[in-house]
Amino acid sequence: MGINDRRPILDFTEDEWDHILQVNLSTLFGVAQAAGRYMVAQGSGRILALSSVSGLLAHHSHGPYAASKGGVNQLLRVMAREWAEAGVTVNALAPGYIETPLTAGELAKPGKRASLEGMVPAGRLGTPDEVTGPALFLSSRHAGFITGHVMYIDGGRTLV
């Protein structure tokens, strides 16, 4: 989950900044903390957050979104460290350019799709279905020894 507003940083008000961080980062904190309390008490569990390649890369006009997703990445690491002994894993998926309602408006702009595809070594955008398998894996018993990990699902975008 997340919201983005693609504008230069100088164009944001403090309230607009706060809103994006509230939705993308603070909501995760509240939900994961509540789930973490339950999972730590029971001695097992899986928490899977949704991040983005924007939490690593410095995309133009993604300031608050990138900051919130970078915060997601660090928050999950701290949770993973604190809850690992209790058998709780905390990981994140960080999709790259995936065709979703969040990206539809941007992809509709002339030349934008070709430009984005050109930045992805795989030469295409991802689909929501390609995020499902990694989500199922990290949520399964097979991932019981994986914690604090951000899995990039990006066709190689973070390699370049």
Q: What is the pLDDT of residue 103?
A: 84
Question: What confidence score (pLDDT) does residue 1 get?
Answer: 66
Which one is catalytic: 38, 65, 97, 152?
65
Tokens found for residue 5: 């507003």
User: Which residues of 18-157 form beta strands (DSSP E)?
Assistant: 45-50, 88-95, 150-153
CA dist list (Å): 7 to 1, 59, 135, 150: 19, 11, 30, 26
Question: What pLDDT, on the 0 to 100 scale, is given for residue 2?
Answer: 84
pTM for the structure as a whole: 0.92
Distance CA(68)–CA(135), nearest Å, equals 20
Told to judge if 65 belongs to the known catalytic residues of this protein, a careful annotator would answer yes
The predicted pLDDT at position 89 comes to 98
Q: What is the pLDDT of residue 106?
A: 86
Tell me the CA distances in angstroms from 126 to 1, 81, 84, 113, 153, one per residue in order.
16, 31, 31, 12, 8
Tell me the domains of the chain and their CATH numbers.
9-155 (3.40.50.720)
Mark 109-139 as b/e (b = at least 16 C-beta within 10 Å).
eeeebeebeebbeeeebbeeeebeebeeebe
The residue among 77, 85, 82, 78 whose CA lies nearest residue 148 is 77
Q: What is the pLDDT of residue 129?
A: 95
| Tokens (6 digits) for 83 | 């809850």
How far is it, in rounded angstroms, from Cα 91 to Cα 151?
Answer: 8
Task: Kindly give the confidence (pLDDT) of every residue in the chain, 160 residues in length, as a single tens digit, with 9 standing for 90 and above.
Answer: 689 999 999 999 999 999 999 999 999 999 999 999 999 999 999 999 999 999 999 989 999 999 999 999 999 999 999 999 999 999 999 999 999 887 899 899 999 999 999 999 999 999 999 999 999 999 999 999 999 999 999 999 999 8
